[in-house]
Amino acid sequence: MTAPTSTSKAVCLLSGGLDSATCLALARREGYACYALSFDYGQRHRVELEAAARVAAAFGAERHMVARIGLDAFGGSALTADIAVPKGRSTADMGHGIPSTYVPARNTIFLSFALAWAEVLGSSDIFIGVNALDYSGYPDCRPEYIEAYERMANLATKAGVEGRARLKIHTPLLRLNKAQIVKLAQELGVPFGLTHSCYDPGPDGRACGQCDACLLRAKGFLEAGLEDR
Ligand code: ZN
């Protein structure tokens, strides 16, 4: 991997959760000027956008853009339609099948927006905090998906076709478990309290403690021996 120059720009997808915050912190540590990108996609946990803004400011992102894309017009997910968010699932339950919190084509859409912004910025680097180990079975978080997307992106862009730059999708968390991500976040100084993971927060924005995102987060902190402040 080529080391970034002082002017290297990266587009960092930022949901406001712990993983994407850690991913942004890593991009900053590697020396990239970070352009944070979040989505108001009609998610029930829209409060995560406030967390994203806090995290972007805390890590000195050059800009923080919130794109409005209204995936709730289609629905089809517990996060974008009136479908109950699964609660209290065991790790074994989370280990097979694709849950109702899967949002159809979400990462494909997010990465396409990131790709568009990267091309405008003259950036060849996109960071996304996907994880293939402690994740909820989403097909668009798998390594083979990311590899295929990167190949497609280099066929799709002007910079790629003209051979001026090769776009790289950075997935530094891909093969870490949740406890390793928590430890890495701690090492990078990610302020845990600024992040938001819950899929189904209460009206006051507090985490439910029982959705897959809450349970995976709690498991990660427990296994890392750290307190989630
Ligand atoms: Zn929750």
96: pLDDT confidence band, cut at 50, 70 and 90?
confident
Residue with the larger pLDDT of the pair 136 and 188: 188
Buried b (16+ CB within 10 A) or exposed e, 55-79: bbebbebeebeeeeeebbeeeebbb
Give the position of tokens 């959705």.
211
Contact call for residues 207 and 199 (beta carbons, < 8 A)? no
Q: 8-43 pLDDT, tens per residue?
A: 999 999 999 999 999 999 999 999 999 999 999 999
Q: Measure 76 CA to ligand 1 centroid, in angstroms.
A: 19
Q: Measure 51 CA to ligand 1 centroid, in angstroms.
A: 15
pLDDT of residue 196: 97
Q: Measure 207 CA to ligand 1 centroid, in angstroms.
A: 5
Joined tokens for residue 225: 């021996």
Decide if domain 9-224 falls under CATH 3.40.50.620: yes
CA dist 16 and 114 (Å) reads 16
- Domain locations in the chain as residue ranges: 9-224
Q: Measure 143 CA to ligand 1 centroid, in angstroms.
A: 26
pLDDT of residue 137: 77
pLDDT at 4 over 80: no
Q: Measure 225 CA to ligand 1 centroid, in angstroms.
A: 20
Average pLDDT, the chain: 93
Q: Measure 187 CA to ligand 1 centroid, in angstroms.
A: 25
pLDDT at 3 over 70: no
% of residues, the chain, pLDDT over 90: 85
pLDDT at 2 over 60: no
Contact call for residues 77 and 85 (beta carbons, < 8 A)? no
pLDDT at 84 over 60: yes
Rounded to two decimals, the pTM is 0.94
Q: Measure 70 CA to ligand 1 centroid, in angstroms.
A: 22
pLDDT of residue 6: 54
Q: Measure 214 CA to ligand 1 centroid, in angstroms.
A: 4
